[in-house]
Structure formats: structure tokens, C-alpha cells
Amino acid sequence: MKKFIDQISSEIKQAFSVLGYNPDLGKVTVSNRPDLCEYQCNGAMAGAKEYRKAPLVIANEVAEKLKDSRVFSEIKVAPPGFLNLKVKPSFVCAYLKQMIKSPKFGLEEPKQPLTIIVDYGGPNVAKPLHIGHLRSAIIGESIKRIIRYAGHTAIGDVHLGDWGLQMGLIIVELNERKPELVYFDPGYDGEYPAEPPFSIAELGEIYPFASARSKVDESYREKALQATFELQNGRIGYRALWQHIMRISLVDLKENYRNLDVDFDLWKGESDVQDLIPAMIDKFKEDGFAYLSNGAFVIDIKEETDTKEMPPGLIVKSDGAYLYLTTDLATILERMKNYSPEMMIYTTDKRQSMHFEQLFRCARKTGIVPPEMNLRFLGFGTMNGADGKPFKTRDGGVMRLEDLVSLINEEMYKKIIANRDVCEDEARKTAQIVGLAALKYGDLSNQAAKDYIFDIDRFTSFEGDTGPYILYTIVRIKSILQKYTEAGGVINKEALLAPEEICANETGASEKSFASDFGDKALMLTIAGFNAMIETAYEEIAPHRIAAYIYELANALNTFYHQTKILTEPVNEKQNYYIALLDLTRDILETCIDLLGFSAPERM
Ligand code: ARG
């Protein structure tokens, strides 16, 4: 379905054209003076020079031409040549009716559907998930859903950090604690036990302990590096331990993501591509891309246009170890082979932007991806505490993801209990749903690249630009609709008769009752902007566009609600129209929150 604003533009463009002007002058934008008009066109000013006419003259001609337009209820010319526009309610209504009948409310399918890999989450196995991983999960999940809704194929890959030093640290620490385990005996050639030699709780404790010790004990750290190297080079006892670490951690990770309503298609990790690396590097050498520099292999990626320092990409260290960059290159290689994607999107903390710049340049230069390949890095900012510094626990430690989620759920629970008479059990369940919305909306309503302040009190508030406010609005609509149907009403989605059509049928009531817009018009206009908004959110890969839209939509709905008697409206057609409008608003709000990755409870 053509975008609403484009339909309006068409009408104005046509008028410009008929009058002998360049039709492009008829481009319409949303008014920046909503007190004066809904839309505006500034084309008369733009065309004045070319046609050597006063803008006011052109604007008046256009206005005159559109006098009987089916689209506009009002066209006012304002000096020096603005066209201030209001559209007819019947025109918006017709558009909304068409939206209801169209799939995805009239969002057009892409001409060329793409396959897009979304690399997000990026947890490091056996290390605690922290807030950076939370942001990556929340943002990536939303991006994936937006891409799908826009009609493309999105493949979400968690890309586990499962091959790094943390594994060596765990192995070394376990060796200290339980040296008798067969995994450490190089001469052992039997089967390894199926039961892991540690519990999840122990594993959770071992890593931070070992990590802290490695920072003060150089020889311990050396041992961990050595163990990592041996693991990577196939020492079988270590591989067996690694399997245990992976199996146990994944159960826990999956649970964490499930709680966040984050879901991956691929659970691949750094370890999965290790076998591809030697051949990849040989090829880089053969093709003359990788060369020896101080004992290490590097790829030059400087470009003439660079304004900042661009160090060569380091792919093999002098001790033979591979790096983050190496693994990421091999991962691209594998993804190209398996999925032939047109685009890959990565989302991590923006402090990794240099890594991704290097990665993308290496991939292009070496021909792992074709030149037209779209590789995008979406770096996000830091989540800060009220003091403006990275969010910490009360005692100054790194906040773990589970703790953060419980913190917000607890606060939500308190507010729900305080707000309403509800049993403990239901309040807990609702708090979980609303808490997730508070957390995700608090994050996604900011432009991803910006830092933001995690303000628990604000995020969990039922008022203002928050997740709970959006949910509250949805629940409000649901409750009205429920009352309506309980009283015998039947929701007719297509009962969107334009107000003036209803008035025409209404004896005596004349236009007056509808001439004063009581919020229904603004609500309709916001709804009509849905497909344009989704297109922008997809093109910019910007969930915050959706957040901004639903905030506006929720506000429009609430204004309408406060100014209108819905359930007591005596004129049937009018009430049907209100109900259809509420129903459509709810459908759109629910669609949008799903794209942000949360849902609404039945009551709250
Ligand atoms: N595991 C990494 C980290 O914790 C993030 C991985 C991001 N994805 C990637 N393909 N490099 O920082």
C-alpha cells in the first residue's frame, strides 16, 4: 500500500503539474506547526526562482486548483508561500479501512527479499553475562524481528565466545583443585566420564576466581595461556573438559535468553570455525594479502582516504595463536558458504568499532565477500547508573544480567501491588511481563549508539515515555473492548465510517459534533503513518523509531480516550467507529511491541 504521506503528495504534485510546474515541488511533509495544520508543502517557495513568480502567487494557484480535492478539508496559504494542509477525515478513514484489509497493515513487501545474518548476544561461555551482553541481546532481537516483518529473511546467530582464555583459566584452576582428574593425565587413553567434574554453581565460581588470580599471578596466567593453546591444538583431555563446560553453560545461557524472550536460530561459536582457519590463512598468504611482520601475519587495510590511523589486521600472532579477527573472518567465510547472505549486521558495544572496521576491510580485500556485500556494525553505547558511570552493583562490582532483571522485576512488583488489588501470584507474573517491557523499552527508546542512564524508577513508571505506559495503554484498550463485548457489542473492524459520513446520516446532529476534533483525527493520522515508520525503522536498522512511534500512538489514544465517551455513546454508528478505532490501535501497538521484543499482559 502506498504510504499515506505519498498519497497526499501525489495529490499536490498533480496540481503543480497541471499548472505547468515541476511536479516534484508538490512534496508534502508532516507539519512542523501542528497548531496550524497537519501537513505542509513548501514547493511554492522552492519553485519561485525557476518560474520567476512570487511564491504566494504559485501557492494560491495550487490552492485554487485543489479547492474541490477529495483529499483536503483545508488548504491555507501562508506567507511567504506555505501551503498548510488538513486532510479530510473521510480520506484518512478510507486509508485506515484499506490498512485493515491489507496484510501487515499495508506495509509493502520488498521487491528483492534479502537474507540477513544478525550477529548478536555474543556471550562468553562460562563467564557471567553482563550489561553489554544484555544490550546486544535486546537490540539484536529487535533488529531481527524488524527485518523479518519488513519481509526479509533474518538469521540470528548468538556467536558464542567459546574458544578463549576463559577456558584455559578454568582448566588450570580445576587442575589445582582436582589434580587427580583423568582429564589432566596426558597418558590416559580411556573414555572420559559422561558426568561433568563440576556443578553449574562451581563453574560459576571458578571463572571469577581464576580470572582474579591471573591478574596478580603471572605464572598462573602463563599456565592458563598455555592450557588455552593446548585446548585449541587438540589436547584431548582438555577438549573433553571443554565439552563439559560448554554443555553446562549452554543450559544456563539458554535459560537466561528465554527469560529475556530472545531467541537464536544458530548457536554457533568461535570454536565452530577453527578448522577453516589454516586453509583460509594459507590462501591469504598465497594471494599475497597476508605477510610476515615482526613474526606475526598481518593484512594491510589502509586506504588513501583514511583520516584516522588504521593499523594492519593481525591474523596470526608470533606465537602462532589466532585472534578475534581471525575467527571472525573464518565465520564470515562459513556464513557466505552456508547462507549466501546479502547483509550481515553485528551489534556490540561501540568500543569494538575498530575491530569491525578491520574485519570488514579484511573480508572485502581478501575477497571473502563480494564488493557489494553489506556489512554493518551497529555499535551501542554504555548503560550508565545515575552517577553517569557504567552501571554497577551497590558494592561497585559488575552487574550481572540476572541480578539486573530481578532488580527491575522486584520494583515492578512493588508498583503493581501498590497500584491495584491483586493477589501475590498474579502480581509476580504481571511484574515479569511488565518488567521485561520496562527494561527493553528503556533501552530501545534510545538511539542505540547513545549512552543512557538506567533509571529504574523512571523505567518502571506507568507514566511518560516508558514500557509500562505503553502496556498500560494496551491494557486500557483491551479492557474497554472487553466491557463492550460483555455488554453484547460485536467488534466490527471495518466499521470505520468517516465521522462526516456518520454525521450525514445523523438527523439533526450536523457536522458540529465532529467539527471539533476530539482526538480521533490525530489518532487516525498517527495510525496511517505505520507503514512509513516501519520502512524507516528497517532502513535505518533503528528500533528507536518504533519506540517513538508507539509513544506517539499511545499518547494519541489516551487523548482520544479522555475526550470521548466511548462505552456510553448512544449513536450506534459512532460507537462502532470508536470501537473499530480502538481495536486497530491495539493491533498496531501489539504488533510494534512484538517488534521490540516484549508483550502485554491481559490486566495490570
Ligand atoms: N563475545 C564478544 C564479546 O563479549 C562479542 C561477539 C560479537 N560478535 C562477533 N562476531 N565478534 O565482546
> Taking 90 as the threshold, does the pLDDT of residue 473 lie above it?
yes
pLDDT tens digits, residue range 295-331? 999 999 999 999 999 999 999 999 888 999 999 999 9
Q: What is the mean pLDDT of residues 533-559?
A: 98
- Taking residues 389-415, what's their average pLDDT? 86
Q: Please give the distance, rounded to the nearest whole angstrom, from the Cα atom of residue 307 to the centre of ligand 1.
A: 26
Mean pLDDT is lowest, of 6-20, 245-259, 378-392, 590-604, for 378-392
Closest residue by CA, ligand 1 atom 11: 328
Q: What is the mean pLDDT of residues 432-441?
A: 97
What is residue 255's predicted lDDT score, i.e. its pLDDT?
Answer: 93
Counting from 1 in the atom list of ligand 1, the atom nearest the Cα of 349 is: 12
**Candidate from 134, 135, 348, 358 with most ligand 1 atoms within 8 A of CB, to mutate:** 348
Q: Which atom of ligand 1 is nearest to the CA of 124?
A: 1
Distance 372 CA to ligand 1 centre (A): 24
Q: Which atom of ligand 1 is nearest to the CA of 356?
A: 11
Residues 6+ apart with CB under 8 A from 422: 416, 430
| 221-277 pLDDT tens trace | 999 999 999 999 899 999 999 999 999 999 999 999 999 999 999 999 999 999 999
Mean pLDDT of all residues in the chain?
A: 93
Q: Which three cell numbers stand for residue 224?
A: 592458563
**Ligand 1: nearest atom to the Cα of 348:** 7
Would you say residue 443 has pLDDT above 50?
Answer: yes
- pLDDT score at 512: 38
Would you state the pLDDT for residue 34? 86
Distance (angstroms) between ligand 1 centre and the Cα of 374 equals: 19
Q: What is the pLDDT of residues 574-584, one digit of tens each?
A: 899 999 999 99
**Rounded (10°) CA dihedral 84, 88, 89, 90:** -160
The Cα 255–Cα 261 span in angstroms is: 10
Nearest CA to ligand 1 atom 3: 122
Give the β-pairing of 343-349 and 383-384: unpaired
Give the pLDDT confidence score for residue 336 in this predicted structure. 98
Q: 351, 341 in Cβ contact below 8 A?
A: no
Name the residue of 134, 159, 359 whose CB sits within 8 Å of the most ligand 1 atoms, as the mutation to test its pocket: 159
Nearest CA to ligand 1 atom 6: 122
Per-residue model confidence (pLDDT) at position 302: 95
CA of 132 to the centre of ligand 1 (A): 10
Give the closest residue (by CA) to ligand 1 atom 5: 122
**What is the CA(348)–ligand 1 centre distance, in A?**
7
- Is the pLDDT at 538 greater than 50? The verdict is yes
% of residues, the chain, pLDDT over 90: 86
pLDDT over 50 at 137, yes or no = yes
C-alpha to C-alpha distance for 161 and 153, rounded to whole angstroms: 25
User: Per DSSP, which regions of 308-467 are E strands?
Assistant: 313-316, 343-349, 374-380, 383-384, 452-453
**Global model pTM greater than 0.75:** yes
Q: How far apart are CA 596 and CA 244, in angstroms?
A: 35
Question: Ligand 1 centre and the CA of 326: distance in Å?
Answer: 13
Q: Strands 153-157 and 82-87: what pairing?
A: unpaired
**How remote is the CA of residue 149 from the centroid of ligand 1, in Å?**
26
Residues with CB under 6 A from ligand 1: 119, 122, 124, 159, 161, 328, 346, 348
Q: What is the pLDDT of residues 506-515, one digit of tens each?
A: 444 444 344 3
Ligand 1 centroid to 164 CA: how many Å?
11
48-57, 404-413, 517-526: least confident range: 517-526
Query: Mean of the pLDDT values across residues 341-370?
Result: 97
Is pLDDT of 504 > 60?
no
- Ligand 1 centroid from CA 122, angstroms: 5
Ligand 1 centre distance from Cα of residue 112 (Å): 30
User: If you take atom 2 of ligand 1, which residue's CA is the nearest one?
Assistant: 122
- pLDDT at position 399 is 78
What is the Cβ-side half-sphere exposure of residue 535, based on CA atoms within 13 angstroms?
A: 15
